[in-house]
Amino acid sequence: MKSNVKNPTGVQHHKLSAERYHLRRYFPDEPLIELIEQFWLVNWDLRDEKNHTQKNLPDPNFHLILDNRKLKLIGPISKTYSYKMEGVGKIIGIKFALGALTDFLESPLSKYVDKELDFQQLVDFDADTFISELDGLQDDEQIVDLLQTYMTPFVITSSSELIRVRELVNRIKNDSDITRVEHLSKKSNLSIRTIQRCFKYYLGLSPKWLIRKYRLHQALELIEKEDVNFLDIVEWLGYTDQSHLIRDFKEIIGVTPINYINQSY
């Protein structure tokens, strides 16, 4: 069982907030890598501390979540969202690979954005037995093994088009020079129309939205460093001007960059 030890990119103020809970992430075994990006487990004990509201960034992936004995499938999330932690608790989650559930869902996938779904209504799945078996487990390895057992019947073989979509998303993530769909089109030798069609079908989201999201990830990493000038961030990440950066922040994260820095816990 291989752990994902990279810093989480979808968590706001992760260095400070990590003191309030224990997050572990594990990669799936080889047969499941086309279906699942990672498993994630989080526990907290705040009985002697104040409650903690964890704010998270928008997420294009579907997640299957077990929280307080309730199982739900969460669709892609387009805006910042939060979760309140209090007392003692835990969450077990499965982060599906991008586009992995396309064949299990009705088109268009855009109708699942910002929605909670009943996983049992989508696939043949015994949620009650699944929850009961997980209840008796404390060891991470045993939990992940059980998750993999239950997910194995849904193993997929990615089409060449889905593989291409994932490659395009990785290009957006890793190439800060891509600030417009036109840039992605040029670097991938694909037409804008083809890119938009593929993203709509497999992700339910536009390439423009993905570009804005991952550029904000990079902006957050820079903003949380000391002595970084906003004007430098604007230049490095290709924003038109400072107001452009502020506008993206407010629309997607809900606050200005200054307010983000000054948020207290």
DSSP 36-99: EEEEEEEEEE-TTS--EEEEE--B-S-EEEEETTEEEEE--B-S-EEEEE-SEEEEEEEEEPTT
84 with 38, same domain: the answer is yes
- pTM assigned to the model: 0.91
For residues 129 and 205, membership in a common domain is answered with no
Return the pLDDT at 116: 94
Domain span holding position 246:
160-262
Of 42, 142, 126, 24, residue with least CA distance to 85 = 42
Instruction: Give the end of a domain, one of 137, 154, 171.
Output: 154
Question: Are 109 and 201 a contacting pair, CB within 8 Å?
Answer: yes
For residues 173 and 83, state if they share a domain: no
Tell me how far apart the alpha carbons of residues 242 and 232 are, in angstroms, rounded to a whole number. 10
Q: CA-to-CA distance for 41 and 147, rounded, in angstroms?
A: 11
Query: What phi-psi label fits residue 182: left (phi over 0), alpha (psi between -120 and 50 degrees) or beta?
Result: alpha
**Domain check: are 143 and 23 in the same one?**
yes
Residues 64 and 181 placed together within one structural domain of the fold: no
The reported pLDDT for the residue numbered 265 is: 45
Residues 19 and 150 in one domain: yes
Residues of the chain under the 50 pLDDT cut: 265
Cα separation, 59 vs 213, in Å, equals 9
Q: Residue 200: inside a domain, yes or no?
A: yes
- Residue 71, both tokens: 């199982």
Residue 185 located in a structural domain: yes
Domain boundary among 93, 127, 154: 154
End residue of a domain, out of 136, 154, 172: 154
Structure tokens at 43: 């526990």
Shared domain check, 47 and 78: yes
Amino acid identity, position 224? E
Say how many domains are in the chain: 2
Same domain, 49 and 150: yes
Residue 226: what pLDDT?
A: 63
CA atoms within 13 A on the CB side of 166: 17
